[in-house]
């Protein structure tokens, strides 16, 4: 549904050329959700803006729904863009129009009959969960509600493709979840292909089928989410995965933590489960084999694309010799073990 072929984008500032994208190629199959993740300045916004030619690539091809957008006249491009919806981090609603009028805007421009507009907008507002808000103005809505209006507005023109430019970055975690689940729902129900850019691995984990990692204008890794989570090849992909598994040592453990073993102290271990870790009941196996008891201090286990991964802090009770054997056992199961200290 979306194909970028060898896209390069250069910006020129006086005599200086900045290469924002360098030979980027990606394919998003129909009905899929594809995420592009990268740090600030990596080229994400430029990439997504190239898909509807808000930025014209310096070279390369942009093919959406079988049409090579680079070859179209401006009139043809305007028509093709109607099938490419876009939502933004800061919603971009018209503040002088009500929720209803914002969603109706593109239909009015199209001279859609009034009755039809009434029905279509009501259906869309119902779809995004805003039945009660027809006559409210954007200023009186929460961030999540504003993004729902923006989604309804873009759906009004029956897009085949939805581009999401950091659509949840201005929202709190709970609202982010609800908007992501709305996007997933739209993707499934209306078979709309979604390309999103984000700097948060959680967004990718929650809704994407496929992911590409962008760094300094280049796609350095891409594949199915399960594949990238289970076998990340680049350091950057590993860092993004680790960032979605951030676990901190609780303060009272931190206060007791020392670097060296002592008779009255127990090891505090961090166990990291990746897609390569063996999916066995390891805590109870360690208890049985090595007479080691484990106290789980905190844990964050998750699934992405059918792969279990996560991180766990455990306090280990047992002899020093058995603790070392348990650590070896975990390592043999491809679980990454770090001795954080002794508590
Ligand atoms: N209009 C422009 N003129 C000159 N340079 C630009 C322009 N737009 C982007 N750039 C440069 O291109 C590079 C990529 O920028 P881009 O905004 O695409 O990154 P990003 O990954 O979206 O970053 P962020 O997450 O901070 O928005 C940066 O070095 C940026 O300074």
The alpha carbon of 215 and the centre of ligand 1 are apart by a number of angstroms equal to 12
In the predicted structure, residue 275 carries a pLDDT above the cut 80: no
Residue 38 Cβ inside 6 Å of ligand 1? The answer reads: yes
pLDDT single digits (tens) 81-138: 989 999 999 999 999 999 999 999 999 998 999 999 999 999 999 999 999 999 999 9
Closest CA to 198 of 223, 226, 170: 170
pLDDT value at position 227? 84
Higher pLDDT, 120 or 241: 120
pLDDT single digits (tens) 29-83: 999 999 999 999 999 999 999 999 999 999 999 999 999 999 999 999 999 998 9
- Mean pLDDT of all residues in 212-227: 93
At 241, is the pLDDT very low, low, confident or very high (cuts 50, 70, 90)? confident
Domain boundaries, the chain: 2-243, 246-342
Determine the Cα–Cα distance for residues 129 and 148; give it in Å rounded to an integer.
Answer: 8
**Nearest ligand 1 atom to alpha carbon 38:** 21
Query: Which residues lie below 8 Å from residue 98, measured CB to CB, with a gap of 6+?
Result: 134, 135, 136, 137
pLDDT value at position 305? 61
Residue 13 Cβ inside 6 Å of ligand 1? The answer reads: yes
In the predicted structure, residue 301 carries a pLDDT above the cut 90: no
pLDDT value at position 39? 92
C-alpha distances in angstroms, 166 versus 163, 191, 199? 10, 21, 8
Higher pLDDT, 232 or 52: 52
Q: Do 246-342 and 2-243 fall under one CATH topology?
A: no
pTM of the model: 0.84
- Mean pLDDT of all residues in 316-335: 94
Residue 40 Cβ inside 6 Å of ligand 1? The answer reads: yes
CATH superfamily of 246-342: ACT domain (3.30.70.260)
In the predicted structure, residue 306 carries a pLDDT above the cut 70: no
Determine the Cα–Cα distance for residues 238 and 233; give it in Å rounded to an integer.
Answer: 8
**Nearest ligand 1 atom to alpha carbon 13:** 4
- Mean pLDDT of all residues in 282-309: 88
pLDDT value at position 240? 85
Tracing tokens 């201090």 back to the chain, one arrives at 297
What single-letter DSSP state applies at residue 316? E
pLDDT value at position 172? 93
Determine the Cα–Cα distance for residues 264 and 315; give it in Å rounded to an integer.
Answer: 13
pLDDT value at position 78? 92
Average confidence score pLDDT of the chain: 93
ipTM field? 0.96
In the predicted structure, residue 230 carries a pLDDT above the cut 90: no
pLDDT value at position 314? 96
- Closest residue by Cα to atom 25, ligand 1, is 40
At 273, is the pLDDT very low, low, confident or very high (cuts 50, 70, 90)? confident
Tracing tokens 């209006």 back to the chain, one arrives at 149
Query: Which residues lie below 8 Å from residue 148, measured CB to CB, with a gap of 6+?
Result: 128, 129, 130, 179, 182
pLDDT value at position 133? 95
C-alpha distances in angstroms, 279 versus 116, 235, 324, 329, 337? 54, 24, 21, 13, 15
Strand partners, 85: 162
**Nearest ligand 1 atom to alpha carbon 18:** 5
**Nearest ligand 1 atom to alpha carbon 214:** 21
In CATH, the architecture of 2-243 is: 3-Layer(aba) Sandwich (3.40)
pLDDT value at position 338? 93
At 221, is the pLDDT very low, low, confident or very high (cuts 50, 70, 90)? very high
Residue 200 Cβ inside 6 Å of ligand 1? The answer reads: no
Q: Strands of 307-317's sheet, edge to edge?
A: 293-304, 307-317, 267-273, 336-342
């Amino acid at each position: 549904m979306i194909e970028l072929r060898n896209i390069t984008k250069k910006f020129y500032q006086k005599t200086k050329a900045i290469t924002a994208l360098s030979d980027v190629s990606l394919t998003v199959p129909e009905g899929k959700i594809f995420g592009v993740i990268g740090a600030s300045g990596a080229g994400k916004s430029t990439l997504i803006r190239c898909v509807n030619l808000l930025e014209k690539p310096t070279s390369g091809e942009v093919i959406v729904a079988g049409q090579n957008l680079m070859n179209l006249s401006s009139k043809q491009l305007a028509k093709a863009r109607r099938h490419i919806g876009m939502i933004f981090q800061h919603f971009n609603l018209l503040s002088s129009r009500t929720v209803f009028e914002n969603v109706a805007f593109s239909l009015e421009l199209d001279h859609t009959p009034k009755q039809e507009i009434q029905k279509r907008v009501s259906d869309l507002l119902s779809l995004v969960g805003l039945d009660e808000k027809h006559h409210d103005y954007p200023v009186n809505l929460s961030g999540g509600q504003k993004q729902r209006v923006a989604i309804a507005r873009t759906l009004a023109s029956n897009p085949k493709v939805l581009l999401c430019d950091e659509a949840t970055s201005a929202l709190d975690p709970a609202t982010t979840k609800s908007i992501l689940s709305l996007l997933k729902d739209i993707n499934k129900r209306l078979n709309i292909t979604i390309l999103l850019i984000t700097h948060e691995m959680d967004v990718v984990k929650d809704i994407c089928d496929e992911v590409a990692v962008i760094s300094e204008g280049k796609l350095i890794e891409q594949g199915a989410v399960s594949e990238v989570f289970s076998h990340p090849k680049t350091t950057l992909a590993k860092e993004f995965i680790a960032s979605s598994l951030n676990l901190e040592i609780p303060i009272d453990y931190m206060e007791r933590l020392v670097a060296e073993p002592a008779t009255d102290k127990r090891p505090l271990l961090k166990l990291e489960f990746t897609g390569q870790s063996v999916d066995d009941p390891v805590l109870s196996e360690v208890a049985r084999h090595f007479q080691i008891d484990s106290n789980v201090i905190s844990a964050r286990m998750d699934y992405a694309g059918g792969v279990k991964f996560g991180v766990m802090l455990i306090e280990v009770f047992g002899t020093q010799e058995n603790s070392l054997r348990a650590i070896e056992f975990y390592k043999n199961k491809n679980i990454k073990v770090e001795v954080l200290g002794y508590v």
